[in-house]
Homo-oligomer: A and B are copies of this chain.
Amino acid sequence: MIKTNLDAFIQAIEGIKTITDPAQIAKLSQDYHTFSPVLVPKLAGKVGDIVVRPDNEQEVIKVAAACAKHRIPVTVRGAGTGNYGQCVPLHGGVILDMTQMQEVLWVQPGVARVEAGAKLANIDKKAREVGWEIRLAPSTYRTATIGGFIAGGSGGIGSIEYGFLADRGNILALRVVTLEDEPQVIELRGDDVQKVNHAWGINGIITEVEIPLGPAYPWAEVIVTFNDFMTAAKFGQALGVADGMIKKMIAIFASPIPQYFLGLQPYLPQGTHAALLMVAEPSLELLPGLVQEYHGQITYQQTGKGINLGEYTWNHTTLHARTVDTSITYLQSLFPPDPNLQLLGDMYHYFRDEVMMHVEFIRTQGRVTAAGLQLVRYTTEERLNEIISYLEGQGVFIANPHSYIIEDGGRKVIDPEQLKFKEMVDPYGLMNPGKSRVLGAGN
């Protein structure tokens, strides 16, 4: 950014918290794309020029107006727990850190309205006080913000019950500030929320979010071990389709993945495959019968406060594995629904130890299926691409976490409605520029 521009910008937003210390800026220009040996060199050195931390929507509007006026790129971020480089600024500019706007505005039966920077764990805590809880959460729920989760995430713990964030009903309203000379504040409700959902912050600055809540069941955490991976996976599928049993997490890990879970070693005998579960206490009594059908062993079961098994699942699995072995990277994938898990079995046997199988059972559009977050023993980018191509060729859907291009991820194309909305809310193309192919990334 041209220095005079930056000076003028700083003057225009006087009174609003900023960070100008380069070390701090560098830190706040990062996310967890570091899981990818492919992304690391590509995003190396990409930093913002300044971090701005608004306290309220009025300040966001002021920042937006100043950015528009001075044509300064804006990269919005929450806790930076994304894995696709979503909040790494490719063209410098302002890092808009939303974590100061963290108020839970209200909680009603089944619904909460919160500021975009509210932490998921905090929303959950407030909701539980009145008998409800958040429906969906990434494994990073302790630090992740709701705005960041919606802008950059897709699902997680709870998806076995409620599907993905993109499924109708999982986001009720989004309030966004536009990047115009005179920024507007727009409230999107109903299906219109999809104009901003999972748009990586290219479509306006989310300031408030209204989300549905689920019932605050008393949850039990359970670990089950198996001698055979596919039996473990079939157990996961069977629990997934047991409609009378309430659960919010079914994570299945092929050996040797459980060995990376250092904190869980007492419950994970060497060489076994494992299921980490969260099951509602009223359904817990039915679990042993199902476990027995699949020849599993319950090695850990905790009602009330447990060891937070959620923090070993979804992307945390990769985090734990990389703590032990930094050469490990991962994939994000979705298997087609199939009660027999044929393709899952084929891919498990085909790659064996090179692509260690980790699946999370989810339900979306009425079908229970396996979302894969396979761990890959990385050798070269070429080999990684070969693995991805092979999986895609076999019918596995890949949301490639080794690309920072939106279209390479879960959506493949940016919805025309999103593009139309983009034109309106970001006429100068200043929001998270360079992340979308259709908007000219790589040109």
A346 in the interface (beta carbon within 8 A):
no
**Does A89 interact with chain B (Cβ within 8 Å)?**
no
The yes or no answer to A246 lying at the interface (CB within 8 A) is yes
Copies of this chain held together in the complex: 2
Q: Name the CB-closest residue of B to A243.
A: B163
By the criterion CB–CB under 8 Å, are A245 and B131 in contact? no
Pairwise interchain contact A168-B282, C-beta atoms closer than 8 A: no
Asked if residues A168 and B289 are in contact (CB atoms below 8 Å), the reply is yes
Of all chain B residues, the one with the shortest Cβ separation from A247 is B169
Pairwise interchain contact B110-A217, C-beta atoms closer than 8 A = yes
Q: Chain B residues near A218 (CB, 8 Å)?
A: 109-110
Q: How far is the CB of A344 from chain B (nearest CB, A)?
A: 16
**For window 150-176 of chain A, which residues contact chain B by CB distance below 8 Å?**
161-164, 167-170, 172
Residues in B with CB closer than 8 Å to A132 are: 215
Binds B, one of A18-26, A320-328, A363-371: A363-371
Query: A243 touches which one: B190, B280, B286, B364 (CB < 8 A)?
Result: B364
B288 and A190 form a contact (CB under 8 A):
yes
A190 partner, pick from B131, B162, B244, B286, beta carbons under 8 A = B286
**Least Cβ–Cβ distance between A232 and chain B, in angstroms:** 18
Residue A262 lies at the interface, judged by CB distance under 8 Å to chain B: no
For residue A191, which residues in chain B have a CB less than 8 angstroms away from its CB? 286, 289
Do B244 and A169 touch across chains, with their CB atoms under 8 A apart? Answer: yes
Q: A109-B282, A190-B289, A212-B283 are in contact. List 6 more A-B contacts (CB 8 A).
A: A110-B218, A111-B282, A167-B242, A169-B245, A170-B244, A172-B286
Question: Which residues does A use to contact B, with CB under 8 Å?
Answer: 109-111, 131-132, 161-164, 167-170, 172, 189-191, 212-215, 217-218, 240-246, 280-283, 285-286, 288-290, 339, 363-368
Give 13 A-B contacts (CB < 8 Å), ordered by A residue: A109-B217, A109-B281, A109-B282, A164-B244, A167-B243, A168-B245, A168-B289, A169-B246, A169-B286, A190-B288, A191-B289, A212-B282, A243-B365
